[in-house]
Amino acid sequence: MAFQEREISPNAPLTAKLYNWFDSRFPTATVEYKKHMSEYYAPKNFNFWYFFGSLSLLVLVIQIVTGIFLVMHYKPDASLAFGSVEYIMRDVPWGWLIRYMHSTGASAFFIVVYLHMYRGLIYGSYRKPRELVWIFGCAIFLSLMGEAFFGYLLPWGQMSYWGAQVIVNLFSAIPFIGPELSLWIRGDYVVSDATLNRFFSFHVIAIPLVIIGLVAAHILALHDVGSNNPDGVEIKGPNAKMDEHGHPVDGIPFHPYYTVHDILGVSVFLIVFTAIIFFAPELGGYFLEYNNFIPADPLKTPPHIAPVWYFTPYYSMLRATTETMVNVLCLLAAIAAIFTFIKGKLPGFAKIAVIVAAVVGILLLKAFDPKFWGVVVMGLAVIILFALPWLDHSPVKSIRYRPRWHWWMYGIFVANFFVLGYLGIQPPSEIGTIIAQVGTIYYFGFFLLMPWWSRVGKFDTPPERIVFAGH
């Protein structure tokens, strides 16, 4: 289509003339703005749980901008890295603020993402037709974990160095390829300058590009199928009610209504965020460990090595996978197979297949070292989230219309996640290991048994239209 300047009155305001000039030369921007903002209709009953999507995007921008300024002064060299961080903190104008914004932003990112994912969990935002939206979101979460892990080494403090040493060494437990894989990740036989350079390139270039692409895909996929809401009622689609203009009667334009709505969430978040930065940037050692203010020393191991708080639930599952835990898993597999064989309604050949699968699983569990299964458990704890759209067989989406005991299932799940996180920070103990083992079994049982328990109970009938009261 050939360029054509749109006619406009010579007496029009300057802003109108500028808009006309821009829109004539870049009409795609206007089309996309209307599609994703002013003419994108979202349900009108969003509550405070829906702040965390926009907050995640805000924190991503904070991390990228502060990261750019940190890279200007940071030196990815084992002999200079710690000193360059100290230089940023002490000599670069406002460098301490940029560094604390970045370190606090890392924890803030996980807080808002965890809350964002929990909202999707309780309101069924992963259910049809939003399976791909959920998968993109889980991929963002997985990439974010990698980004945080690679960035954690860069300050080259004691906990950074030894944390990376422990985590990379875990890969050596993988049969056959483990030692070579660990060597390839480190680039050396120990965590060294080669490791620092590799992690720096992944943290600064590779993974941010992946995250930005996944965020774009996440938002585009969401806007194609429409947003979910606390009632789990679809406002778009063949059965949705539309007004005379073809807009959902239970929807409102995202802009200006939800852009203004999100300003409240952003304001509260920034108040808390800045309060932490100025008054407690280490937050008692949870956001910045005290050992990380000591230069990395390969000859001096800290008394207790633990990852940052947002990794500790999965680290706790790793430590919980002992020989005893493997034996318990073998017993559970045997009981499940026997119960299915005796009480199951499967055909005869299917029952035999279940028994064979259980026997093979038990043999595999006993064949490899528990350390290897700990790595597997830690990885599956994240990977299983991708399967959630196909695990939930509930007849309704939202927790609002599920049986009351379902609320307890989700509440215990959250409490269990917190307990696992706390145990992951603490030094290993016998009672702590037992609690972590129970918590790990509950974590996986919550998901693996979901096809059964999500259908059990008395469900309320969701309304035909969303429930909304003005405020």
Annotated binding site for heme b: 102, 116, 203, 218
Q: How far is the C-alpha of 186 from the C-alpha of 467, rounded, in Å?
A: 54
**Residue (of 49, 199, 16) closest to 116 by Cα position:** 49
**Residue (of 166, 161, 243, 234) closest to 196 by Cα position:** 161
Residue in the structure block whose two tokens are 């299915």: 340
**Structure tokens that stand for 146 in this block:** 């990698």
For residues 369 and 421, the answer to whether their CB atoms sit within 8 Å is no
**Residue (of 82, 231, 208) closest to 143 by Cα position:** 208
**Structure tokens that stand for 374 in this block:** 């700990």
What residue numbers does the annotated binding site for a ubiquinone cover?
223
212: helix, strand or coil: helix
User: Any residues with CB less than 8 A from the CB of 259 and at least 6 apart, and which?
Assistant: 37
The radius of gyration of the chain's CA atoms, rounded to the nearest angstrom, is: 26
What residue numbers does the annotated binding site cover?
102, 116, 203, 218, 223
Vertex 130 angle, CA 126 and 134, to 5°: 50
Residue in the structure block whose two tokens are 């016998």: 430
User: Any residues with CB less than 8 A from the CB of 466 and at least 6 apart, and which?
Assistant: 43, 44, 45, 229, 230, 231, 233, 235, 250
State the CB neighbour count (10 A cutoff) for residue 126: 26
Q: How far is the C-alpha of 467 from the C-alpha of 231, rounded, in Å?
A: 7
For residues 222 and 133, the answer to whether their CB atoms sit within 8 Å is yes
Q: How far is the C-alpha of 439 from the C-alpha of 431, rounded, in Å?
A: 12
Q: How far is CA 215 from CA 60, 129, 200, 220, 223, in A?
A: 10, 18, 22, 9, 12
Q: How far is the C-alpha of 462 from the C-alpha of 3, rounded, in Å?
A: 51
For residues 442 and 454, the answer to whether their CB atoms sit within 8 Å is no
For residues 316 and 421, the answer to whether their CB atoms sit within 8 Å is yes
Instruction: Quickly list DSSP for 366-391.
Output: HHS-HHHHHHHHHHHHHHGGGGHHHH
